[in-house]
Amino acid sequence: MTGAASKFYMAAMSEKIIFIVGPTGSGKTELGLRLSKILPCEFISADSMQIYKGMDIITDKLPEVIRKSFPCHLVDIIPPGKEYNVADFYKAARKAIKGILRKKKLPVVIGGTGLYVNSLLYGIFQAGRNKSQALRAKLENTSHKKGIGFLYEELKKVDPHAAAKINPKDTRRIIRALEVYTLTGKPISVLQKEKKGLIADYQVRLFGLRRNRGDLYGRIEQRVDSMIQAGALNEVAKLSKKKLSKTAYCCIGVRELEGYLKSSYDLKEAIRLMKRNTRHFAKRQITWFNKNKDIEWFDVKGDDDLSAIAKEIVDRVKSETKQNGPVS
């Protein structure tokens, strides 16, 4: 990084956070690496699978030697037998971001897990951790004995705003709303409005990479082939000897290659399933991110040089800083 770029960063990038999102195979990680050559960055992975140790190939992690040169948080942090949820991610990511900012570096959140990205941007329902199996069982028992209509009327008394948005026959949501009210003393409709994300405290820019379907699917197929060549089969064979968490077991590649290892079908079929399921996953990601109007999209073709996009991101953030004045 040049002296001029460093001076710009110190003056203008304080308290700024950049997100790079998009479907799997779009080039998010590569763009992050290009950005790190312009500004001092540290990455926060918003990938629900890369948190797991021992799942390097099938989650397409950067090689460890590269991760040491470009610090990446929330990668390889827990064993694959442990569950990890959005609340865990939210807490860990917020902590990592604060640490990066204290070092006067730019936090760059990179990933395609839409729920993780949204939790950071717009906040998380903090009461989500307030759960009681005993209370829920009691409410379910009441529903069986007196009918869900009885519980719905109770909900209307304590939280009419939530009741108005919930179908009177939606047992799960009615019980959840009553559970939250009983445990916290606050209506769930009020608690949901108390969500607070990064955009409330920092200057956040959200950038996305977009490719046409043919290009994206071609990259996905090449990636799967590369995973197989790199030893994905051996990796899954080792994982199959462990008791995986429900989340880890959902990682694309585990079930597909496990089927081959159990002789349910041949390797060619396992690879076909990996490619198909990854394409389907990418399609769901595209649908998710297309709903977010805050994303500034970059259209990428083939092997376009992502360095130009990295420079454009810096220019856009720099332009915003000039227009809005220095960060207080």
Q: Tell me the C-alpha distance between 227 and 250, whole Å.
A: 17
Q: What pLDDT does 327 receive?
A: 35
Over the chain, what is the mean pLDDT?
90
Of 132, 133, 129, residue with least CA distance to 86: 129
Q: What pLDDT does 325 receive?
A: 41
| Greater pLDDT, 70 or 198 | 198
Whether the predicted pLDDT of 68 surpasses 90:
no
Q: What pLDDT does 302 receive?
A: 85
pLDDT tens readout for residues 2-52: 555 555 444 555 689 999 999 999 999 999 999 999 999 999 999 999 999
Q: What pLDDT does 15 receive?
A: 82
Query: Which CATH fold would you assign to the domain 127-193?
Result: Histone, subunit A (1.10.20)
DSSP class of residue 160?
A: H
pLDDT tens readout for residues 221-253: 999 999 999 999 999 999 999 999 999 999 999
Q: Tell me the C-alpha distance between 315 and 39, whole Å.
A: 12
The first and second tokens of residue 174, run together, are 């009615």
pLDDT tens readout for residues 74-114: 999 999 999 999 989 999 999 999 999 999 999 999 999 99
CA angle, corner 167, sides to 163 and 173, nearest 5?
Answer: 70
Res. 195 pLDDT band, cuts 50 70 90 = confident
Contact call for residues 174 and 282 (beta carbons, < 8 A): no
Whether the predicted pLDDT of 184 surpasses 90:
no
Q: Of the given ranges (47-51, 188-192, 294-298), which has the lowest mean pLDDT? A: 188-192
Q: What pLDDT does 271 receive?
A: 98
Q: What pLDDT does 26 receive?
A: 96
DSSP string, 36-92: HTTS-EEEEE--TTTTBTT--TTTTPPPHHHHHHS-EESSS-B-TTS---HHHHHHH
The first and second tokens of residue 25, run together, are 């195979």
Q: What pLDDT does 67 receive?
A: 84
Q: What pLDDT does 132 receive?
A: 86
- Choosing among 3.40.50.300, 3.40.190.10, 3.30.1330.40, 3.40.50.2300, the CATH entry for 3-124+197-324 is 3.40.50.300
Residues 6+ apart with CB under 8 A from 217: 279, 282
Q: What number is the average pLDDT over the span 149-160?
A: 95
Whether the predicted pLDDT of 322 surpasses 80:
no
Whether the predicted pLDDT of 284 surpasses 90:
yes
Q: Of the given ranges (173-182, 254-263, 314-323), which has the lowest mean pLDDT? A: 314-323
Q: What pLDDT does 328 receive?
A: 30
Res. 128 pLDDT band, cuts 50 70 90 = low
Question: Would you call 173 exposed, middle or buried from its count of C-beta atoms within 10 A (0-12, 13-18, 19+)?
Answer: middle
Where are the domains positioned within the chain?
3-124+197-324, 127-193
Q: What pLDDT does 129 receive?
A: 58
SS3 of 19, please?
Answer: strand
Res. 57 pLDDT band, cuts 50 70 90 = very high
Q: What number is the average pLDDT over the span 290-312?
A: 94
